[in-house]
Amino acid sequence: MKNKISFITEHSVIKSDNDFFEHISKIKFNDKSFPNSDAIEFVNQFSKSILLDKNARAFPELIVLANFFKRKNLFRNIQSELDKNKEFIQVPLGKIFHIAPSNVDTIFLYSSLIALLCGNICFIRISSNQTTQLDFVIEKLKSTLASYKSMKDKIFVFTYNHDYEITKKISEAVQSRVVWGGDETIKEIRSIPLNPLAREIVFPNRFSFSIIKSKAVYENESNLNSIIKGFYNDTSYFNQQACSSPKLIIWFGSHDDNLKARNIFWNHYNDYVMANNINDDAGMVMDRFVASSFYAANNLASKSNDVDYPTKLNITDLSSKLIREAHPGNGLFLELEKNNIKDVADEIREIDQTMSYIGFTKKEIVNFAMHLTNRGIDRIVPIGHSLDFNAIWDGYDLVEQFSRKVTID
C-alpha cells in the first residue's frame, strides 16, 4: 500500500501509514495528571522560542499566540475548584484529532496546545498549502520537541490529501475530533464516522462586525490613534479572513453624527494604512471588485467604482444571507447605520461570532446582549481585541471539552 501520510514531526516507530494506524490503536495513555506538568513546561518553552526570535516580528499573529500561552494560567480557576471539590477528579480526555484550516494557518495551535496542556495526545492534520508563517512555527515546534522527549509521543503533525479512509481510521481511534474549516469542509468531515464515545467540536464559517458609537470618534480624537491601530490589527492580520475579523461596521448615532464620524475615521485609517505595509495583491483587489459587483447586482449595496484598500460599501439591512456568505474579506468593509440598540440586536444572525465595539459602557453592552433572540454572538470585545484568543471560543470551554470528570461518591 502506497503511503499517503507525510509526517511533519519525527517519530522513529512510524515508517508507513499502517505503522501509524497501528500506533494510534495501541498507544498507551498512562499519564492522567491534569493539567499536565510536562506539557506546561513544553508549551512555555515553545512560546518563549517564538518571543525570543527577532524573525517572529514578521508574524504578529504568532506573537499574540505565544503571549497567550506564556502569560495566561488557563487552569487557575479549575485547580481551585479541584482542590475544594472532592466529589470528582478531572482527567485528560484521551486522543484528540485536530483538522486545521487552510486560510488561517496557525489557529490549530490554540486547540492543540490547550489539549496538550490538559494531558491529551494530539494528532494534527495541517494543510499542504505551506506558508512562510506556518513553516516558521513548525520549525519552532520541532526544535522544542527535540528538547522534550516525553512530548514526542504526544503530538503528531502530518498532512495528507483529502482522503475518506485515512480520516475515518483516525476518527475511529480517538476520543475527540476538532474541525476548523468552512461549512462544506465540516459537512464533509461530519459524514465520516467517529468513535461512538467521542466528542466532536467544529468551528465553521462565522461572520464578525464592529459597532462604533459615532460621538466616541469625534468627541475624543485623542483616543483615535489607538482605535485606528486596533481596528487595523483586527482587519489586516490574516487579510480579514479570520472568523473574528470585522467585515462590517455599524455606525451608531444620528445620520449627521455618523457622517461626521465616518469621515474622520476613514481619513485617519487611510493615513495609517499608507504608513504601514498593508498586503494588497491583485487577487485581493479582484475579490473586492467581484464582491462589490455581486452586492450591487443583487441590490444589497450601492455600487462602488473604487476598489482601493479599503473598499467601503453602504448597505441598507443585513436580512439577506448573501451579505454574510458573499463577503471575501481582503479589505472590503460593509457599512450600516443604526440609532437604537434593539435594532442592532434584531440584525444579529446565528452565523455572527464576534462583535467589537468602541464608545459603549459595559451596561449598554449587557443591555444589547439581553436583546438577542437567537444564538448569534459568542464574543463581545473592544476594538483591537477581535483576534485575541480565549479558552472559551465559539461558546465552547476548551479546557472542559478536552477533559472529563470522574465522579467519586
Q: CATH code at 347?
A: 3.40.309.10
Q: Are residues 199 and 291 in the same domain?
A: no
Shared-domain flag, residues 267 and 402: no
User: Are residues 65 and 184 located together in one domain of the fold?
Assistant: yes
335 and 221 assigned to the same domain: yes
CA separation for the pair 198, 97 (Å, rounded):
10
Query: What is the structure's pLDDT at 77?
Result: 60
- Return d(Cα 8, Cα 159) in angstroms, integer: 7
| Domain membership flag for residue 1 | no
Shared domain for 224 and 280, answered yes or no, is: yes
Both 109 and 164 in one domain: the answer is: yes
> Is 104 within a domain?
yes
Among 140, 153, 154, 152, smallest CA distance to 45 is for 140
* DSSP letters spanning 341-356: HHHHHHT--TTEEEEE
What is the reported pLDDT for 79?
Answer: 54
pLDDT value for 380: 96
pLDDT in tens, 70-94: 866 677 665 555 556 668 889 999 9
pLDDT of residue 238: 82
**Residue 40 belongs to domain with CATH number:** 3.40.605.10
Give the residues of the chain that fall short of pLDDT 70.
1, 71-73, 76-86, 104-105
Work out how many domains the chain is built from and give that number.
2
**Is the domain of 166 the same as that of 260?**
no
Q: Are residues 55 and 157 in the same domain?
A: yes
pLDDT for residue 84: 62
- Look at residue 38 and tell me if it is in a domain: yes
- Find out whether 349 and 370 touch, Cβ atoms under 8 Å: no
306 located within any domain: yes
* Whether residues 189 and 224 fall in one domain: no
**The predicted structure's pLDDT at residue 385:** 94
**CA dist., res. 361 & res. 367, Å (int):** 10
Confirm whether 388 is domain-assigned.
Answer: no
The pLDDT of residue 32: 79
pTM: 0.88
Asked if residue 181 belongs to a domain, the reply is: yes
The pLDDT of residue 317 is 78
Backbone angles phi, psi at 362, to 5 degrees: -60, -35
Q: Is the dihedral of CA 286, 352, 322, 254 positive or negative?
A: negative
pLDDT at residue 48, rounded to an integer: 95
Domain that holds residue 355: 207-382
Residue 389 covered by a domain: no
Q: Are residues 233 and 118 in the same domain?
A: no
Three cell numbers written together for 336: 450600516
